[in-house]
Amino acid sequence: MPAKGAQRREQRAPTVNGSGAATPRSVTADVLVIGAGVIGLAIAWRAAQRGMRVVIADPDPGSGATHAAAGMLTPVAEAAYAERELFDFGSASLRRYPQFAAELTEATGLPTGFRQTGTLQVAHDVDDMAALHEHALLRESFGAQTERLTGRECRAAEPMLGPVCGGLLVSDDASVDPRLLTTALLAAARAAGATHLRQRARRLLAGDSAAGAELDEGTTVAAGQVVLCAGWASAAIEGVPAEAAPRLRPVKGQILRLRPTAATRAASPSPSFLNRTLRGLVQGSSVYLVPRQDGEVVVGATQEELGADTTVTAGGVWQLLRDARALVPGITELEFAEAAAGLRPGTPDNAPLLGPSALPGLVLATGHFRAGVLLAPLTADLIADLLVTGILPAAAAAFSARRLAAQPFEHQDAAPSWR
């Protein structure tokens, strides 16, 4: 399906850069997508599939929050008090994931790392177990299926676990590799006819309505609809009127990647160090370990309100390794492959901002905070509907981009950063 549409659109699409061609001075599109993280790329793909001429502006796709995301798709394990609507939204997006991932791979031949292997959430000590028990009651009040396991049953499910008090098993949860996903989404968007310009959107062009943007290497993109999905930096693009600008704060997350060595591979019959995503509470501190098919384990994540700081700190790495090792002592045998930090886009109520802003033609799709990867398929479908029909589907009503507009807006001090 995308291939046929793409052929038709390629004839009228502007020159693509990033593939060796000269950067065009001006480009016209139906939709300009500012930001090529997982949200922007998924929207661009879906909108292009529906016949829209789409331009994506981003100097380095997938280099923001997506780059440091573990890719957990765990709406049940991440459910929180007073976030019932977000839980339902996340669950609905998770239901779309198997088809979303399969369609991407079919369109591009590229993997996404999607695995539906469940989540085991464990408690390290008795107090952690009490907290987990409270969480189980919350989940059950949301109607979520969750199975209570004893410590022994947890260890039977995950033989690499050390002693734990007990846990909760959710079998529908899944994970994806956000870096693979981004690569596949960019390829799919381009195959569907979207144009990617490797430039940062410097300034929104707008009069009574959004009209496009100026990019930082001088290209002008004229577009009747502009989708702002540049993560926390969405708040700092010049020319966005204060009443239309998203209210966002960067929330730092540090994350580690550990890889099997020849010795750990020889010691284990299974390439996966863990069978499923493991989340744990260790003396009140939370940690997660997300295994990939090839044996890599992603350990995350800190949550730090420090402004736009992406320093990987000794303390952050220590905290993650300390808690991960308390749950799974054998992780110390793995190779330490990477430590990274990213900035999640947090809104005042921690829920995303979706749909028309106060400026006609300017659409927001940002503020996904801890759940951008999970919420990408549903966000993309709903925003593509809005772009094509002019109507934001009811499923997004609770996350209206205008719900916080009455509150005063303050620009972030830090310079906008895409990297």
Query: Which residues lie near ligand GLY (CB under 6 A)?
Result: 72, 253, 300-301, 344, 370-371
Which residues contact residue 159 at a Cβ distance below 8 angstroms, ignoring those fewer than 6 apart?
Answer: none
**Please, which residue, 97 or 387, has the CB nearer to ligand GLY?**
97
Query: Phi and psi of 222, rounded to 5°?
Result: -95, 125
Question: Minimum Å distance from CB 127 to ligand GLY?
Answer: 22
* Phi-psi map region of 299: left, alpha, beta (phi>0 left; psi -120 to 50 alpha): beta
**Please, which residue, 287 or 326, has the CB nearer to ligand GLY?**
287
Question: Minimum Å distance from CB 101 to ligand GLY?
Answer: 18
Handedness of CA 309, 313, 315, 316 (dihedral sign): positive
**Please, which residue, 63 or 357, has the CB nearer to ligand GLY?**
63
Cβ atoms of residues 103 and 45 within 8 Å: no
Question: Minimum Å distance from CB 290 to ligand GLY?
Answer: 9
Q: Which two tokens stand for residue 332?
A: 């110390």
Q: Which residues pair with 89 in a beta bridge?
A: none
CA distances from 9 to 2, 186, 191 (A): 10, 16, 10
**Please, which residue, 16 or 94, has the CB nearer to ligand GLY?**
94
Q: Which two tokens stand for residue 307?
A: 């402004």
Residue nearest ligand GLY by beta-carbon distance: 370
**Please, which residue, 56 or 320, has the CB nearer to ligand GLY?**
320
Question: Minimum Å distance from CB 84 to ligand GLY?
Answer: 18
Question: Minimum Å distance from CB 70 to ligand GLY?
Answer: 6
Q: What is the DSSP letter of 373?
A: H
Q: What would the DSSP string read from start to end of 31-94?
A: EEEE--SHHHHHHHHHHHHTT--EEEE-SSTT-SGGGG---EE-TTTT--TT-HHHHHHHHHHH
Which residue in 105, 97, 71, 77 sits closest to 257, CA to CA? 71
Question: Minimum Å distance from CB 77 to ligand GLY?
Answer: 9
Cβ atoms of residues 347 and 233 within 8 Å: no
- Separation of alpha carbons 128 and 183, rounded Å: 38
Q: Which two tokens stand for residue 343?
A: 């900035």
Question: Minimum Å distance from CB 204 to ligand GLY?
Answer: 28
Question: Minimum Å distance from CB 68 to ligand GLY?
Answer: 9
**Please, which residue, 2 or 113, has the CB nearer to ligand GLY?**
113
Question: Minimum Å distance from CB 371 to ligand GLY?
Answer: 6
**Please, which residue, 54 or 77, has the CB nearer to ligand GLY?**
77
- Separation of alpha carbons 177 and 113, rounded Å: 5
- Separation of alpha carbons 240 and 152, rounded Å: 56
**Please, which residue, 177 or 385, has the CB nearer to ligand GLY?**
177
**Please, which residue, 222 or 312, has the CB nearer to ligand GLY?**
312
Q: Which two tokens stand for residue 222?
A: 């004229």
